Structure 1
Amino acid sequence: MTASSPAASPFDDIRQLAADAPAAPASTFEGGDRLAEISAWLTAWTGKTPPVVLRPVVALYAGARQGVGPRGYARERLEAVAAGGANVCRIAGVQGAGLEAFDLAIDRPTPDAAAKASMSEKECAATMAFGMEALAKQPDLLIPGVIAAETDRAAGAIALALVGGEASDWSDASEPVAAAVTRAAGEDNLSDPLQALRQLGGRETAALVGAILAARVQKIPVLLDGYAAAAAAAVLHAIDPALIAHCQASHVGTAKGHARLLEALGKRPLINLDIAEEEGVGGVTALALVRLACEVR
């Protein structure tokens, strides 16, 4: 009698994609000049000498969670972006960056993770695959971010599950963060980063993970925008630290835990302007520095 094969998981294709990611290119940069470091990073990932950024794209994923933030927040902000009235629209225009915003069923919010898993494995894997659509525009630099209320709750819960420490290290909303991780740990092995993601992250976080992974496979450099993107990167880092070698942290925001998580990921932010807003603002602001670095030889 032959042993039965283990049941297929919706995450199998994601894990295989991560396992098949090409090796990170070697960087020849040595020294402490940050502009030269950025230039060398771009050259390594794009293969262009001197480096150049011609098609940067800001990809924003809008998600909503039950009982988190003001009712209708994500819809209101998504409409502001669509109308060109959000800060990121104006800054992206100045920088010549493309801007795309994706509605991740915001009229059907995911459950509060303190009460129930945010997503099933199937929904989480499908949302990650949807997040990869940001690469359809063939950007030569991707700036992924979110449109969501109280992003520190989901990001803090993922950081707590994957990095450890206390809930108060990662979010001012320490009680719901701790409750979410305690509940999830009773249902799943949170040392599996994809289980931690589907239990604790919203759809917007899952889409970010998919976008960052797709960029890694296609060797497209990424500027992580905000705490939510850092948490998404932490999921991939927990699978294999090399999966975020193509990423730079655009900035460090004011959210509690953001700086701590970037340190845990070994990512030094390009700028520190105390930008509290998510929605791609920090990422597209840092794009100006990246463009300047392209002029450094």
Structure 2
Amino acid sequence: MSQSKRRLTKLKLLANFFENVDIISIYIKTDIIHNLFQENKELDYSKLELFHLQYTDSLIELLTKIKKQKENDMLAVIKEIEVNNKYIASFEEKHTDGFETERKMYSGIFSNHLKNLYKDLTEDKFRLKWDSVLYFYKKYASEFYRSNVDEELLKSGAFPAYQYQEYQIERKLLGRLNIQNFKVRFVCGYSITGNEYELFKIFQSEDHFIFDIEGRKMYLIDPKKMEKLDTMPNESNLGTIVSQLKSKNEYLEETMNERKKILPEQVINVLKDYIKNLENTDIMSKIFDINEETNILRAMLNLNLNN
């Protein structure tokens, strides 16, 4: 009886793990059979042992194997959640809250840079250091500049230009900047195929111009191209990634328990046949007349537990 009790304990743990109605039903029916022997001392306990050998042990072996597979799957999901959380923590630590403030400061710095560039050109001197404006894209492009844009909208054909060190600035653009005292506002940045572009608006006008950082040139952009461009303020790409990772973790956590309960169709059929076999058998008359050479569960269902 102690061996029978241990089998019942294992079956109950499996029923609790899978939370499957058929497994629970099988456990209840097996418990009833156990109790029949426990309450009737005159019965031959070897018949109960034979019942477990032919029915219960095969089922426990099958469900234990599936449980181990499920636990490995759950461990993989838990590991994925942990890795996602590490990335989330890392991204949130790197998240630059000062972008909006520094974006406004950058507009003033770039305006001053253009004013000095114009002054140098009129005096035929070349005193500017471009690092004073290039710092911004180096700091923020990878996180904030958007990439989902047609690069052709940002490019320009040939144009008359002033040469300043390695940089070109369109003559027409410089003239319009001079009219507005070189006041500009940084609109947004783009990062495409290893090149960065910055879009600026000239103060008190509808004119916009592009600073092609890799190409080292500045030029006015066609208003028709402007209509097709996404010119919304840049948002953190890491913020989007963090949001996606958090949603993924929520999904994994919500579905992990359900995935644990899902059983292969073959196993579901096994359980159905197992229950049907018990329900269609007169337990009190058949259980005590089991052919010891026949393992009903294995033979009937042709289980291969080694695969």
* TM interval, short-chain normalised: under 0.3
Q: Which has the higher helix share?
A: 2
Larger radius of gyration: 2
Q: Calculate the TM-score normalised by the size of structure 1.
A: 0.26
Q: What TM-score does the superposition give when structure 2 sets the normalisation length?
A: 0.25
